Structure 1
Amino acid sequence: MTQFTRIMVDPHSRHARWAMTSLERQHAIISRSLDPDHAGDRRSLWRLDKGRNGTPSRLYIVSDAVPDIRVLHDELDVGANDMASCAYEPFLDRLRIGQEWGFRLRANPTKSIVSAERGRRGRRVGICRIDEQLQWLERKSRECGFHMPINRLELPEVMVRDSRAVDFMRQGSTVTLTSAVYDGVLAVDDPELLRGALLNGIGRAKGYGFGLLTLVPLMGDRRTGGGA
């Protein structure tokens, strides 16, 4: 059964500060916590939402197993009371057409550049402009069974809260990924497609903290129940 896990990470911890400076380190730690004997083999989703003004960061993980608290303690100084995990399927089964949810997604929006050479495969690059990042999400939303409602300004209820290039070292080389954090409201069009997006992620670079979509109930809306 799929597990949804929330982990509170103390930004004042020396171990945690060191880990949070590199996506490669975070990827390795999470892989080991999920399968210590075969690190990196298990496909999982995760996202680190950094706290503000010294408040704890929140690490979310969707995986087939509950993360090993011993690994998280050794690498991130996480205690038993800092981690909460539950089965994900009961929440997924409650999704219905027409429900509206608040959402957050950290994604790696990309596009393919057509090669000038005939017969040669195009090159995939990150999307850096915010208007194009929003267009990318709109295309993905149709594939994933939801849409962003239009507000009174005739704009989708979504914003790019943080857009930047993220660099890290992998096997001796520098990797650069485009990162966009989306916050907004979505309406469910196809629950089955949305469940697939929540379990499998949206976009590329999922092993490095991208693609995990999380939902929360809207204030005053009792139709949806608890979030994830």
Structure 2
Amino acid sequence: MYLSQLLVDTGGNPDRPRPGRMWIGNAYNIHRRLSMAFPRYETLLNDPDSLKPFNPAMLEDRPFLFRLDNNVSDDGQRAIIIVQSSLKPNWDWCFHNAPDFLAAPPQMKNYDPDYQSGETLRYRIKLNPTIKSSSQKSINAITGEAGKNSKRLALTWDKDSDPETAINIWFAKKAESSGFKLIQSKLIQLSWVYGSKMKAADEQNEAGKVQHHKMKFRSALLEGILEVTDPSSFNRCICDGIGSAKSMGFGLLTVLRL
């Protein structure tokens, strides 16, 4: 696998254009752009300058996870995107028509996770904590739209509890089936991630105003220490991610040996 780091140019002057900041404000557009790092051969051959109309099929079966790591104080001075992929990304082609998005060339390295039982690791993960409900519709991970057989709701907690406790209980259950247990877990940031996708031509109104599907995902950024209990399951969860809405920047578990 490969790990990449993208330093986004968020811009420090509100009176000047800040395309990088605008880009990361829409989770759908982040995923759409990053998908371009894994172009099909026919795309490179037939549309080298990305001039053809966007095809939503380009977003399907893209072998990567990502996480937007901006500083939790939200002062906008730093924004980094971590990308983990099973294929080597073509960052030159990905940003060839949007060079102003980045403040520096992408950094990339090989990544071969091979962790052993009993290892303790420091981790960071941004989760979309959800629960299933037979009375509700699930959310499409790419479009954010409700599906006919959807069954996912954002995790909630009652007045006698607190978000950190509720989310850590939820995450601990995920850990059990993912080959690790939590030693320490701290909720660093609780927020919402937003996105929007332009509706298809037949869904636009006659007035000519462009219509969009709005998306909203609960976001919980966690850091702490974990212990590997089942290496096979753990290494698989590193590759596959944890939880829902992975295409919107959730589920990437990054770890460091202590």
Q: TM-score range by the shorter chain?
A: 0.7 to 0.9
Aligned-partner Cα distance in 2 for 1:122–1:43: 24
Contact 2:35 2:58 (C-alpha < 8 Å) held by counterparts: yes
**Aligned equivalent of 1:168, options 165, 190, 195:** 195
For 1:201 and 1:101, locate their aligned partners in 2 and report how far apart those are by CA, in whole Å: 16
Give how far 1:209 is off: 0.5
Q: Paired residue for 1:195?
A: 235
Q: Are 1:96 and 1:191, in contact at CA under 8 Å, matched by a contact in 2?
A: yes
Deviation at 1:183, TM superposition (A): 0.7
Give 1:139's aligned residue: 173
Deviation at 1:195, TM superposition (A): 0.9
Residues 1-228 of structure 1: pairs in structure 2 closer than 5 A = 2-12=1-11, 14-35=18-39, 37=43, 39-41=58-60, 42-51=62-71, 53-63=75-85, 64-72=87-95, 74-75=97-98, 77=100, 82-89=105-112, 92-93=113-114, 95-115=115-135, 123-129=151-157, 130=163, 131-149=165-183, 157-170=184-197, 171=199, 172-218=212-258
After the TM superposition, which segments of 4 or more aligned residues of structure 1 sit over 6 Å from their partners?
A: none
Larger gyration radius, structure 1 or structure 2: 2
Bigger Cα displacement from structure 2, 206-215 vs 166-175: 166-175
Flag structure 1 segments of 5+ consecutive residues without an equivalent.
Answer: 150-156, 219-228
Count of aligned pairs: 204
1:141–1:21 Cα change, 3 Å: same
Helix, strand or coil for the counterpart of 2:88? coil
What is the CA distance between 1:177 and its match in structure 2? Answer: 1.1
By how many angstroms is 1:20 displaced? 1.0
Unaligned runs of 5+ in 2: 12-16, 44-56, 137-147, 158-162, 200-211
Measured against aligned partners, the alpha-carbon deviations of 1:110-137 in whole angstroms (never above 9, x if no partner) come to 1012439xxx977310114422221110
Tell me the distance in 2 between the aligned counterparts of 1:201 and 1:59.
Answer: 16
Aligned to 1:223: none
Task: Give the TM-score, by structure 2 length.
Answer: 0.71
